[in-house]
Structure 1
């Protein structure tokens, strides 16, 4: 039996995600002795690089290009296999770079194994070569989140995949069923429809894109359906049966107003939410509590119920974006080595993008949210086709929308379903933080031709 390694560190980071991998070298530069524990060698760099943002956006870009080439189905199948290979090469490259950057940093030790709290200051790590017992003054939990599997009979069929597993599917499914109409489901629907799959998106709720204004949601639905995505709203999945002879899965569906029916698919993607990766941590031994959703409970400075333990990124139940995890690092940096004033309440006008085709981006309030909060609003809309740049790119689908406070003239919200919206929304987010009247953005000089200059035309419509 291998001897247990016991070692004292100033700081222990459990999980290799964006916040943790940025925090580790920073703490080491302050003179601290730092350990980083990662459960899987396939997750160096965290969720974004390995199983989320980077691989999905790489596939989305390839799918967009392929959809414009007018290829037959056989050619698209080959292109898909090539795209998966290129995605794998990109992920492997970035994973290795991230590992080398952290592990090669003076003062940082990376340990690959499963961490579990023994006490609030001691963590045991089981590795392939033996066990470590690490004592640390400060501990940072950065273990991320994973897809939730709903309680549907047959959900563990070999034809059923989570978003993580779907990224390793080497062969393009001819027929794809997606359970869940959230951001992840929408992105995969757009990607696989562009690659040539027959996609059916199944949403249990009665409304498409529930949190968005109806005019924007309707525009997205129209474009996706034009791409070939079949959208089934108010539909329950009763069970999934694997059909070995057909090499397919048979889904039993019940619409809210209709009889039970069947849908056959070569692959089924489950995209019904995410849950915290905490099952191995033995949080009770550390005095760390979780909230009603199972995510680690934190205050506005990301401290858990044990004040020397912090939770960073998706595991704390905040917005599930890698750039939020990076901002978690900034809060901790300020708390430990700054003036200690930065908190999660400082986050205002945080933009988001869903990388469907074209991308859907938003910042601030929707029109419905603004009205519900008592604002008197003015609204401007502009079809994406009005943009010369959109016509150059041959991406004229979509719609832009701005919501203005009629009393202060400030921009309350902005939504852009159009080409390059993931870039333009960042400009608008920065502008909204300045709290200037919308006319300043309306009259700002942008380069031509660009999608950013579409803001001039949009805001001129008020």
Structure 2
């Protein structure tokens, strides 16, 4: 058994950034990754970058097969770059294999040449999350089943695609596949569409997706999936009426679960919650001293930039002043990459009402923005909430072209506690979407 200064289980964003940093401090690092296809982590291989590449290609009118080839080339380049970023460091070893704990600080790695045992002075768990498949009769064994991972590995475009789940992941895929030319039907047992969003924004998103060719079946029960004579059907029902949806493929877009089931945590004192997420404190410590959890595996928001900020918290603890915490991370912007993108930070109107928060509402239709006319996409709305006493921004919802870019400007203003008037009076380049803040913030509703 070999003792290693640092063991990182999983090649994800936070873990690989930590590995590189520790090596630059002269420390020994063992990085264990179960699949060579996942060098670099979820984001570059099966999530953020490949999915956004396909979404971009769909919007440009690229045919599906060409888009898939381009996506695969991009991912291969990124994967190779990320591997060498770590493997070329003198003090980093990248080991292919599946790790599981045998005690609090000891792991066994099952490799192609047999098991290897290691003890880690520090261990960082960075195994990410994996798609969940709902317990619908016939779905798990259906040859038509896709997950958010396998949906991006198709060689040909499905003509009829049923997506189970009208959440953000489901909507991104619905928008993308509809743009490519598939007939897309989204089914969900919830009656309300995008329940966390303000009603006016949710209505716009739904109408625009429907105009793009997406059909929604909301408030339905999904009874079963069956295949007969080479044809797959999804049986749904509502109010006693049953409908059969014909599908070439069925995409389960019902969330992702922390990947902890095969880590052997039962052999340790590392606690998990009822979803299998590793429990951590404000500095990402697990319930075992000297063991941390980074990124999606600990639950909470599943974004690569959260995983990167987890690295900063650990870096600050080990080599800084130890003041960074999850609790002082600040506001976190989000984006849904539909067309146009839906981006958000802070409070929505719905959340402000629920909290009893007084606010000024600023609202501007995208059709009033010159750049939107240039882009030939005038759909959407900009909304911003401001505290009437402090003049600080409480939140913003931007449903507009390039919203995923300019939401970061709002988040920065909120984090720096700058008054909304700074965005209102800023001199912007023209024509841009960002200059819309001049008009958006002129006068509250």
TM-score (norm 1): 0.94
Report the counterpart of residue 176 of structure 1 in structure 2.
161
Task: Give matches, 1:33-432, under 5 Å.
Answer: 33-66=28-61, 79-156=63-140, 157-243=142-228, 245=229, 247-255=230-238, 257-432=239-414
Q: Distance in 2 between matches of 1:435 and 1:85?
A: 45
- Note the residue ranges of structure 1 that are not aligned, 5 or more in a row: 1-5, 67-75
Alpha-carbon deviations, 1:55-91, whole Å to 9, x = none?
A: 100000001111xxxxxxxxx7xx1011011101111
Cα drift, residue 263 of structure 1: 0.6
Find the counterpart in structure 1 of residue 432 from structure 2.
Answer: 450
Measured after TM superposition, the shift of residue 293 of structure 1 is 2.1
What's the Cα RMSD here?
1.0
Q: CA deviation at 1:380?
A: 1.6
CA contact 1:376–1:407 (8 Å) conserved in 2: no
SS in 1 for 2:139: coil
Alignment-derived partner of residue 435 in structure 1: 417
The answer to whether the 8 A contact 2:44-2:75 is kept is yes
Render the CA deviation track for 1:289-344: whole Å, top value 9, x for unaligned: 10122200000100000021000000000210000000000000001111111100
Contact 2:259-2:276 within 8 A present in 1 as well: no
Cα offsets for 1:240-293 (capped at 9, x unmatched): 0023x3x431010012x3411111111110011111111221012221110122
Distance 2:35 2:180 in 1: 30
CA contact (8 A) 1:371 1:377 kept: no
Q: Note the alpha carbon deviations across 1:369-428, whole angstroms, 9 max, x for none.
A: 112222112212111111111111112111111112222222111011111111100001
Q: Tell me, in whole angstroms, the C-alpha distance in 1 between the residues paired with 2:386 and 2:352.
A: 9
Given that 1:144 and 1:314 are in contact with CA atoms closer than 8 Å, whether structure 2 keeps it comes out as: yes
1 CA distance for matches of 2:300 and 2:336?
17
The residue number in structure 2 matching 1:71 is none
Is the CA contact (8 Å cut-off) linking 2:261 and 2:276 kept in structure 1? no
Check conservation: 1:36, 1:109, Cα contact below 8 A: yes
Residue 349 of structure 1, CA deviation: 1.6
| Aligned length, in residue pairs | 443
